[in-house]
Chain A
């Protein structure tokens, strides 16, 4: 029983990180209609920048957090402006391939700018172990679950009530009509890239806090992928919850079946999900008319 609870809690913690990155996928898909295969790499770069700030400038938690968020915003905006905007109006295949090319470039630039060794992000918090009953949990793990839940609520409110959120939904639903209504599609796209970069970046920083950062971190993107498929590519909230589900599944499979299963549990799950509900649990079924 205790083993099960331990697995569930660590599953929720890693699942919350997947959820954050999956929300990054969904924000971009929802407003631009493309899957950003470079999401994991953007997450990794934000985490590395946070690490650089913590070791070279200041180890203060707030300085590191602020610096990482700013860096993520700049990263998202630059990628949108330099790489993605010229591809506006091109077929989906071309734009998706561009994000794959971008992913390859970002991944190898990590080894170039930093190095290939794992590092610990130590800002003085997050690694202390709290005992709940007989189960030990890291504060960082509790913090990431809380952050995910808070962000889910914030994003729900943002899309529901704020003017920009409604504009983003409008662009996603029908960009031409949105343009006619006076919404700047490019501005919405830029905002989506920045937001996605920040949300996923937060996930990356939390991952570095609880575990270590290494050039293999881009695999977080691949792991978060099943989460966003499960929740629905166009469902931001659903993707966050999908992350929790994938995290738990993965940990249970790893704990009870075998370590090999842990790696592929998520992928096996999305193949099944895609067969039954290709649009995900919370996604909208788009009807194709002939």
Chain B
């Protein structure tokens, strides 16, 4: 009798998915997402777009915080850098959108070298603090460099047109976001199972042991910084296009907290966790609003007046409750349920 999910060979450890049915389910999911823009109304579609964009950013942070174990409180800094890189290249200098996306990845990656290189000596809390400082400094730099970024006025951004195909409509833009999300998912899954990804996880689990085994801590930590910033920058560009306007106010510090909340709720260090966490965190305010409106119109009114406050309060509450009761996140809960299903009626 099968008593669990055991990996017996090295090859099984580095496969992309656990079992063939996962491919089938993924295909069904992708097919559903492809059909979705035709079925959903524009309100629901905007949630789908936000989820897809946020997945890209969450997967980016997951490389740094989830895989390598380096806490970043300043990822919104990379997000805003990416958005500005795209806006400046495309809106201001009228470059090709693909060049814009490339810039949106490369510029934050370079910025991450600047913040990452001096941070290599630091661990844990101290790193969190320097990244936090970085996100505030980058905001000031953007506001001061008016010749490039228009300062506090911000830059309007058009939906892109790539090789004659316009992404102007919501449905088309959703496909663009979907493309980025799938590419990022594949990229991060592949990083995780490659030599590099295993080095990241080794650093997270025990950096001293990793170094003894010949992993160059500095090089790999920097690499984690750069890849993470590259992907996060792309998410920033997409978010800027979605907002159709890039400004410092469009990227509040709360986004950094939201990103960490996503990883914690989903399950740190798991790509599936990042996706599940994104869906939960993005839909949480909406779901709560629905529940509240069932009770009474008065509560619904309270929600519309204090929407922003309630939203951030929910994020805080969700972070605390998950850390307290389910520190492994939704993925952990899913593993528990699966094990219960296999082992029932025995507990183990």
**Residues in chain A within 8 A of chain B (CB atoms):** 35, 83, 86-87, 90, 92-94, 96-98, 100-105, 107-109, 111-112, 222, 225-226, 229, 233, 258, 260-261, 263-264, 267-268, 270-271, 274-275, 278, 290
Q: Are A104 and B257 in contact (CB under 8 A)?
A: yes
Q: Quick one: given A83-B320, A86-B324, A93-B71, are A104 and B254 in contact (CB under 8 Å)?
A: yes
A260-B140 in contact given A225-B129, A271-B118 (Cβ < 8 Å): yes
What is the CA–CA distance of A270 and B126 in the complex, to the nearest angstrom?
10
Interface status of B190 (Cβ within 8 A of chain A): no
Q: With A267-B133, A274-B130 as given contacts, are A290 and B208 in contact (CB-CB < 8 Å)?
A: yes
18 contacts between A and B (CB under 8 A): A90-B323, A94-B323, A98-B320, A102-B320, A104-B312, A112-B306, A112-B309, A225-B129, A229-B126, A263-B136, A264-B133, A264-B136, A267-B133, A270-B130, A271-B118, A274-B119, A275-B118, A278-B121
In the complex formed, the residue of A with least CB distance to B119 is A274
- Cβ proximity bits B256-283 to A, threshold 8 Å, 1 near / 0 not: 0100110010000000000000000000
Find residues 287-313 in chain B having any chain A CB closer than 8 Å to their own CB: 306, 308-310, 312-313
The answer to whether A278 and B140 touch across the interface, beta carbons within 8 angstroms, is no
Q: Report which of B122, B260, B308, B319 forms a contact with A274, defined as CB distance below 8 A.
A: B122
Which of A104, A226, A233, A260 has the most CB atoms of chain B within a 10 A radius of its CB? A104
B317 beta carbon closer than 8 Å to chain A: yes
Q: Which chain B residues have a beta carbon within 8 Å of chain A's beta carbons?
A: 71, 73, 118-119, 121-122, 124-126, 128-130, 132-134, 136-137, 140, 143-144, 208, 254, 257, 260-261, 264, 306, 308-310, 312-313, 315-320, 323-324, 327
- Per CB-CB distance, the 4 closest pairs between chain A and chain B, nearest first, are A101-B319, A104-B316, A105-B316, A267-B133
Task: With CB as the reference atom, state the residue of chain A lying closest to B124.
Answer: A92
Q: Which of A108, A222, A233, A261 has the most CB of B within 10 A?
A: A108
Q: Which residues of the other chain, A, contact B308 by a CB distance below 8 angstroms?
A: 108
Closest A residue by C-beta to B118: A275
Given that A112-B309, A267-B133 are contacting pairs, would A101 and B125 also be in contact in the complex, using a CB cutoff of 8 Å? no
Once A96-B125, A112-B306, A278-B122 are accepted as A-B contacts, the answer to whether A104 and B143 lie under 8 Å apart by CB is no
Cα–Cα distance between A263 and B71 once the two chains are bound (Å):
24
Q: Is the CB of B323 within 8 A of A102?
A: no
Inter-subunit contact B143/A260 (CB<8 Å): yes
Is A271's CB under 8 angstroms from B130's CB?
Answer: yes
Question: Which residues in A have their C-beta under 8 angstroms from that of B327?
Answer: 90, 94
CB < 8 Å: which of A35, A86, A100, A263 contacts B260? Answer: A100
Cβ of A278 and Cβ of B313 under 8 Å apart?
no
Taking each of A86, A105, A111, A290, which has the highest tally of chain B beta carbons within 10 Å of its own beta carbon? A105
Q: Which of A260, A268, A274, A275 contacts B144 (CB 8 A)?
A: A260
B79 → A minimal CB distance (Å): 18
Given A275-B121, A278-B121, A104 contacting B324 (CB threshold 8 A): no
| A102/B306 in contact, CB under 8 A | no
Residues of A within 8 A of B323 (CB): 87, 90, 94, 97-98, 101
Residues of B within 8 Å of A229, CB to CB, are 126, 129
User: Is there an interface contact between B124 and A111, defined as CB atoms closer than 8 Å?
Assistant: no
What's the Cα separation between A86 and B324 when bound, in Å? 7
* Residues of B contacting A87 in the complex (Cβ-Cβ under 8 angstroms): 323-324
Contact A108 B140 (CB under 8 A): no
**Residue among B128, B310, B316, B327 with max Cβ neighbours from chain A (10 Å):** B316
- List B contacts of A225 (CB < 8 A): 129, 132
Q: B316 — which chain A residues lie within 8 A by C-beta?
A: 100-105, 108
Query: How many angstroms from the CA of A90 to the CA of B326 in the assembled complex?
Result: 12
Q: Is the CB of B130 within 8 A of A104?
A: no
Of all chain A residues, the one with the shortest Cβ separation from B69 is A93
A246 to chain B, nearest CB (A): 12
Question: Contact: A35 with B144, CB < 8 Å?
Answer: no
- For A105, what are the chain B residues with a Cβ–Cβ distance below 8 Å? 312-313, 316-317, 320
Contact B71 A270 (CB under 8 A): no
| Complex interface: chain B residues within 8 A of A97 (CB) | 260, 264, 319, 323
Looking at A86, A100, A222, A258, the one whose CB has the most chain B CB atoms below 10 A away is: A100
Candidates A96, A104, A264, A271; contact of B140 at CB < 8 Å: A264
Alpha-carbon separation in the docked complex, A264 to B309 (Å): 26
Q: List residues of chain A with CB within 8 A of the CB of B136.
A: 222, 263-264, 267
Q: Does B140 contact A92, Cβ atoms closer than 8 Å?
A: no
Contact, CB under 8 Å: A96 / B128: yes
Report B-chain residues with C-beta under 8 Å of the C-beta of A263: 136, 140
Per the bound structure, the CA–CA distance linking A90 and B121 in Å amounts to 24
Cβ B309 vs Cβ A100 within 8 A: no
Q: How far, in whole Å, are A103 and B313 apart by their CA atoms in the complex? A: 9
Given contacts A97-B323, A107-B312, A263-B136, 11 further A-B contacts (CB under 8 A): A83-B320, A96-B128, A98-B320, A104-B313, A105-B313, A112-B306, A112-B313, A222-B132, A264-B136, A270-B133, A274-B119
Q: Which residue of A lies closest to B313 (CB)?
A: A108
